[in-house]
Amino acid sequence: MTGSKWWWTWLAARVVIALAAGFLLGLLFGYPYTGITIVLSALLVRELWALRRVQRWLQGVPGVEAPEVGGVWGDVVSLIANLQRRKQYHKQRLLRLLRELRRATAAIPDGVVALNSQAEILWFNRTAARLLHLRARTDVGLRIENLVRQPEFIRYLRAGDYAQAVVVGAALDADLYLHMQLVPYGDGQSLLLVRDVSRQQRLEAMRKDFVANASHELRSPLTVIAGYLETLAQDRSIDPSLQAPLAEMRRQSSRMTGIIEDLLSLSKLEASHGAADREAINVVAMMTQLRRDLLARIDPGTVVQIAAQSTDRLLGDETQVHSAFANLLDNAAKYTAAGGSIVMRWWADRDGGHFAVEDTGIGIAPEHLPRLTERFYRVDPGRSRATGGSGLGLAIVKHVLQRHGGTLEIASVEGHGSTFTCHFPPDRLVTGVATA
C-alpha cells in the first residue's frame, strides 16, 4: 500500500484540499493567501515535528518508542521497524549457528585451535586449553608459539611442511605426549589439532624395550650353542653321518645370531634420539674396505667395482653409515648370480651426497618396492630362507638415513638388476681434502 502511486495521489489530494480550505477560510476574512500560508506552515510544522520524533527514536534516545505518526513519516517509521526486525532475526540465526558450532567443537575429544596467517590464536576449545595450558578468552590474539614453546613444535610451525604431524612432550608433565598437526585452510588460516597420545607412546616404549631386552637375553644362550656346535664340528670322534646335520645346525644358529644382531642394531637406532653425530667419514676409503670384505665372501665370478666421482667426506656416525652401506652390498651380493656385477658409486652435487649400489641381479617387481624397507618383509620367502639374512637390513638402512637427514631411493627392473641410492643432504657434506 505504501508507496503505491494511489497513496501518493491521495496524499497530494489531501494537501490540495487542506490548501483549498485554507484559501477559502482566508477568503472569509479577506486574506486568502494568508490562509494558504497558514495552512502550509501548519503542514510544515506537523511534518517537522514528526521528523523530530523519528530522529530521536533512531538516535536511540532512551525511553523514546517508535512514534506513531501519520503521514509520510508514519510510513517511514513502519518501514524502518520492519528492517530492524529482519536484521534482528538474521542476527539471532547467526548467533544460534555460532553457538551450535562452539558446542560442537567443544565436544570434539581432541584439542582444536584456530590460527590466523600470523599464527595468532583466533579461538580454541576446552580440550585445547587443557592440553596446551591456554587461558580462555585472554589468550586470543597471542601468537601460538609464545604459549606453546616446545622447541620441536616451534621448528614444526616454522618449517611450513604440515603433511606430517609432530609429537612433543608436554612441558611440565613428563608422561604427557601430544600429537600436533597443523591443517591450513581458507586465507592463510590454519587449524592446530592436538591429541593426547601418551598411551600410544608408552606402548611403543614398552615394545621397544621388550625387543631390546629379548634380543639381549637370546644372545648369550645362542653364543653357547654356536660354540659347542663349532667344537663338535671339529671333533673327529663324532659319527660322520652326523656331519651334515651338524653343519646345518651351525648354519641355522649363525642365521639366528644374525637376526638377533640386526634386531639389536635396529633397537639401538630407534632408541637413539635426534640426528646422528657429525664426524667426517672418508667415504672412498670405506668403499674400498667394503669391496675388499665383500670379495672375500662372495663367488669369485662376480665383479665388484667402485666409481667414486667425489672425494667429499660425509658428516655422520661412522658405525651407522658402515652398517647401512654393508647391508646394501650384502643384499646386492645375495640377489646377484655368479658372474654378475656390483658397482658402488659416490658423487656429490647441489642436492648433497649420493651413495649408490648397482647390481645386475634378479631385480624386484614394482609391487614390492613400497614395502621393501618394512621389517622382515620378504619378496620371495622361499628363496630368502635359503640365502639367509634377517629381513631387517633395509629397515636398518632406512633408520640410519633418517638419523642423517637422508632418504633411500630404490630403482629396479625385474630380471635385470636393482639400484639402491642413499641421498644425504648438503649440510652433511664436507668438501674433500686431497689426500697425499
- Per CB under 8 A, 317 contacts other proteins: no
Identify which of residues 165 and 176 has a Cβ nearer to other proteins in the complex: 176
Work out the burial of residue 288: count CB atoms within 10 Å of its CB; fewer than 13 is exposed, 13-18 middle, 19 or more buried.
middle
**Could you identify the residue written with the cell 656429490?**
348
In degrees and rounded to multiples of 5, residue 121 shows phi and psi of -75, 130
- 425 contributes a contact to other proteins by CB under 8 A: no
Nearest residue (CB) to other proteins, 194 versus 328: 194
Stretch that binds other proteins, among 164-172, 298-306, 323-331, 355-363 (CB under 8 A): 164-172
What is the smallest separation between the CB atom of 276 and other proteins, expressed in angstroms? 13
Binding segment for other proteins (CB under 8 A), chosen from 45-53, 130-138, 312-320, 383-391, is 130-138
User: Does residue 172 interact with other proteins by CB under 8 A?
Assistant: yes
Question: What residues numbered 103-122 form the site for other proteins, per CB under 8 A?
Answer: none
Q: Which range touches other proteins (CB under 8 A), out of 140-148, 342-350, 356-364, 413-421?
A: 140-148
Q: Does 174 bind other proteins (CB under 8 A)?
A: yes
Interface with other proteins, residue 145, by CB under 8 A? yes
- Looking at 19, 66, 142, 280, which residue binds other proteins (CB under 8 A)? 142
Q: Does 273 bind other proteins (CB under 8 A)?
A: yes
Segment 57 to 86, residues that bind other proteins, using CB under 8 A: none
Residue 422: Cβ within 10 Å count? 24
Contact residue for other proteins among 99, 135, 202, 251 (CB under 8 A):
135
DSSP string across 139-197: TTTSBHHHHS--HHHHHHHHH---SS-EEEE-SS-TT-EEEEEEEEETTTEEEEEEEE-
Tell me if 28 contacts other proteins by CB under 8 A: no
Q: Which stretch binds other proteins (CB under 8 A): 100-108, 132-140, 279-287, 373-381?
A: 132-140
CA 198 to mean position of chain CA atoms: 18
296 forms part of the interface with other proteins (CB under 8 A): no
The CB density around residue 430, as the number of other CB atoms within 10 Å, is 15
Asked if 244 interacts with other proteins (CB under 8 A), we say no
d(CA 333, CA 343): 11
Contact by Cβ (8 Å): 73, 54: yes
The answer to whether residue 216 forms part of the interface with other proteins (CB under 8 A) is no
Q: Per-residue DSSP letters for 349-415?
A: ETTEEEEEEEE-SS---GGGGGGTTSTT--SSHHHHHHH---S-HHHHHHHHHHHTT-EEEEEEETT
CA distance 173 to 169: 8
Q: Which stretch binds other proteins (CB under 8 A): 3-11, 75-83, 149-157, 177-185?
A: 149-157
Q: Specify the residue, 47 or 270, whose C-beta has the smaller distance to other proteins.
A: 270
Q: Is 169 in the site for other proteins (CB under 8 A)?
A: yes
Bridge-based pairing state of the strands 341-349 and 303-308: parallel
| Residues that bind other proteins in the complex, under the rule CB under 8 A | 133, 135, 138-139, 142-143, 145-147, 149-151, 154, 169, 171-172, 174, 273-274
